[in-house]
Structure 1
Amino acid sequence: MAIVALLVLFLALLPIIHLLLTKQRSSSKRLPPGSLGLPIIGQSLGLLRAMQASTGEQWLEGRIKRYGPISKLSLFGAPTIFLTGPAANKFIFMNEALVPQQPSSLTRILGKRTIIELVGKDHKRVRAAVMQFLKPDVLKNYVGKIDREVRHHLKMNWIGRQTVTVLPLMKGLTFDIICSLIFGLERGPLREGLGKDCADMLAGMWAVPLNLPFTHFGKSLRASHRARKVLTRITRERRAMVAQGQVSSSEDLITHLLTLGGEDGTNGLTDEEIVDNAMLVLVAGHDTSSTLMTFMMRHLANDQVTYAAVVHEQEEIAKSKAPGEALTWDDLYKMKYTWRVALEILRMIPPLFGSFRRALKDVEFDGYLIPKGWQVFWASSITHMDANIFQEPCKFDPTRFENQSSIPPYCFVAFGSGLRICPGSEFARIETLVTMHYLATRFKWRLCCKDDAFVRDPMPSPTQGLPVELEPKNKEQLMIVK
């Protein structure tokens, strides 16, 4: 069986091998410095080992010292150009000839019609539809709904417990928020089943795409089929309800997308596009915000000065609320310091280590050729930890973000930038601030283990999921949950 799997993998990678060999011969005079290494393997294992040892940034810095800010290498079976610096970031984010390049395993799990896969007019059409729902003017109407999900989650999973493991709980919370706000899916067996399928999908997104019963990818693909079946059924039910005028466009994301365009649907989205992008939101929103909130708790446990400032800000807001009253958009606007803490976490430990683009045609940068079909790799930590941009970059300092206009463009790129900047950044801000408000005003916490290191796989994950000891601040207040 192992021999068969290796043979299948070899045959699948033959086109990549051919690309490596032909492009190296035809373009070697104008390519950046560096080495493609061994076919298929290239430098992939070295980067993955470094990420798992939390030394990915040092690995990249070593390349920069050796080759400069632009170099060639081979990552995950494809020839790659690694670019660094603000000018490189601008070139990557604003160039329509460079489109996101995702592992084939991820595309097969999420679908081909997501906003990270589409290009040109299709990308602009679908992205504009999704962005209409995720813009601040719309999301501010959902603060109360997110507030209820957070308080219910704390009541069921935090209150009355002496210890909790933060990361899995945060993932459960963000999943529940997505189900409620994006899919309009209430608590129950259907939501629980979708949650299990989501976890199974994540396990195989960065795996060798061999659809065999014993592989991570095979298990993830089966979970994807189950999740897609649920979301397809929800989409068809919502479409019928929209046609009968039984729901409003503000009900949830799926309903919103169904109401766009003319009656003939020519300007709207197809069911495939709605389901594929719902799958993307399910996965993307599940991992990134939960990681941010986990690392905020981790840092605040070790930094009593910052913790005290966050608590003070949140308690001042809590004083203005009646018992059991939900947070509002105006309350979130007052949480300026807490959000600066979040931004500083994102600067120092960005959930997304880096990402890939693919060249649709030959393009040039800084006098070097990036051949058509090659990958372009960028990493956020290069500018985030540059002392020329952020003074004393290893020092945790939320005041850096008091005046964000003072930060040079294309340097803080935790949400990306340009044409494909993360459409869910405002959504992430809301759920993060609501969650941290209730944690800071209702609990004190201490880390259970001395080792608070983390690894990347590919998201940062604290040792043991970050177990903490909880101490309630006010037992009577904790029980006030709608």
Structure 2
Amino acid sequence: MSLGEPNHIAKLASLFNIFLKGIIELPINFPDTRFYSSNKAAATIRTELINDYHQSKNSETGKRKGIIFTRPIITFAAYFIGRCFSEKEIANNILLLLFAGHDTSTVSITLLIKSLSEHPDVYDKVLKEQLEISKAKEVGEYSRNVVSEVMRRNPPVTRAYREAPVDIEYAGYTMPKVLASDSYPPSSSLITLNIMKLMKVERCIESSEVLHYIRYSGNF
């Protein structure tokens, strides 16, 4: 797959939009629901990614592209996990990166603009600093603190899910390992991290319910 294949890219883009519309819907896996359509679109995208990888790897001109395309993911798996990902795992991680790079950016920018509109005094300071940055070409400390605090209070990714590769015992609970299955719901429990709630734990973050734009400046 390359920029020289606009029809193929358009097909994947259409499937990706269907995937986005259903990814945070109620998990009702029934025909004609957004969640069902999202699952189907994701499965098709995975198949397309795996096919593209095989085609690029098997062709003389695309062999190098195929290796570069998956190298960061393969390197990550080998270094941190100690084994290589399967083709399905590579496709899943590519899909995750596509989603993470698209939706999180749009949500973060939208929430930042919303927060600035609600705090005119903060907006004025950010604007002043950005004008100075445009002249000096330096990083703005206050602007960075504002973005960090907005993302803490309203994280673009509210939850993270993981599957246990082995049985895990923690705090008196048993989390069974995930069995190989493509069905929904999964054959065993998922490990869920509630990022939104974590960012509001008072014993970890002082005055967590309040937006403090100097929280990361060292003066809070």
Map 1:274-289; keep pairs closer than 5 Å: 274-289=90-105
Q: What is the match of residue 352 of structure 1?
A: 157
Q: What is the match of residue 391 of structure 1?
A: 206
1:301 and 2:117 matched: yes
| Aligned amino acid, residue 131 of structure 2 | E
Write the distance in 1 (CA, Å) between the matches of 2:2 and 2:142. Answer: 32
Query: Which structure features the higher share of strand residues?
Result: 1
Write the distance in 2 (CA, Å) between the matches of 1:186 and 1:228. Answer: 21
1:339 and 2:159 matched: no
Q: What is the match of residue 209 of structure 1?
A: 29
Q: Of residues 157, 174, 194 in structure 2, which corresponds to 1:379?
A: 194
Write the distance in 2 (CA, Å) between the matches of 1:390 and 1:259. Answer: 36
Q: Deviations over 1:323-369 (max 9, x none)?
A: xxxxxxxx5xx13332221211122112233345566436242xxx2
Write the distance in 1 (CA, Å) between the matches of 2:157 and 2:48. Answer: 28
Q: Of residues 154, 164, 167 in structure 2, which corresponds to 1:361?
A: 167
TM-score by length of 2: 0.68
Write the distance in 2 (CA, Å) between the matches of 1:335 and 1:248. Answer: 39
1:400 and 2:218 matched: no
Give yes or no for contact 1:353–1:379 (8 Å, CA) kept in 2. yes
Q: Of residues 105, 109, 130 in structure 2, which corresponds to 1:314?
A: 130
1:296 shift after superposition = 0.3
Write the distance in 2 (CA, Å) between the matches of 1:362 and 1:226. Answer: 32
1:285 shift after superposition = 2.5
Q: 1:282 to 1:375 in 2, by over 3 A?
A: closer
Give yes or no for contact 1:356–1:378 (8 Å, CA) kept in 2. yes
Q: What is the match of residue 182 of structure 2?
A: none
Q: 1:191 to 1:308 in 2, by over 3 A?
A: farther
Give yes or no for contact 1:361–1:371 (8 Å, CA) kept in 2. yes
Q: What is the identity percentage for the equivalent residue pairs of Structure 1 and Structure 2?
A: 21
Give yes or no for contact 2:108–2:151 (8 Å, CA) kept in 1. yes
Q: What is the match of residue 418 of structure 1?
A: none
Map 1:187-206; keep pairs closer than 5 Å: 188-205=6-23, 206=25
| SS at 1:284 equivalent | helix
Relative CO higher for 1 or 2, CA cutoff 8 Å, sep ≥ 6?
A: 1
1:291 and 2:124 matched: no
Give yes or no for contact 2:129–2:140 (8 Å, CA) kept in 1. yes
Write the distance in 2 (CA, Å) between the matches of 1:293 and 1:317. Answer: 19
Write the distance in 2 (CA, Å) between the matches of 1:259 and 1:371. Answer: 30
Map 1:20-31; keep pairs closer than 5 Å: none
Give yes or no for contact 1:254–1:274 (8 Å, CA) kept in 2. no
1:188 shift after superposition = 4.2
Q: 1:387 to 1:276 in 2, by over 3 A?
A: closer
Q: Between Structure 1 and Structure 2, how many residues are aligned?
A: 197
1:300 shift after superposition = 1.0
| Aligned amino acid, residue 352 of structure 1 | V
Q: Deviations over 1:398-428 (max 9, x none)?
A: 2111249x9xxxxxxxxxxxxxxxxxxxxxx
What value does the CA root-mean-square deviation take over the aligned residues? 3.7
Gaps of 5+ in 1: 1-182, 262-266, 322-330, 407-482
Q: 1:313 to 1:248 in 2, by over 3 A?
A: farther
**Bigger Rg, which one:** 1
TM-score by length of 1: 0.35
Q: Of residues 30, 35, 38 in structure 2, which corresponds to 1:220?
A: 38
1:370 shift after superposition = 0.7
Give yes or no for contact 1:362–1:371 (8 Å, CA) kept in 2. yes
Write the distance in 2 (CA, Å) between the matches of 1:303 and 1:401. Answer: 18
| Aligned amino acid, residue 111 of structure 2 | F
| SS at 2:156 equivalent | coil
Gaps of 5+ in 2: 78-82, 177-188
| Aligned amino acid, residue 191 of structure 1 | I
1:377 shift after superposition = 4.6
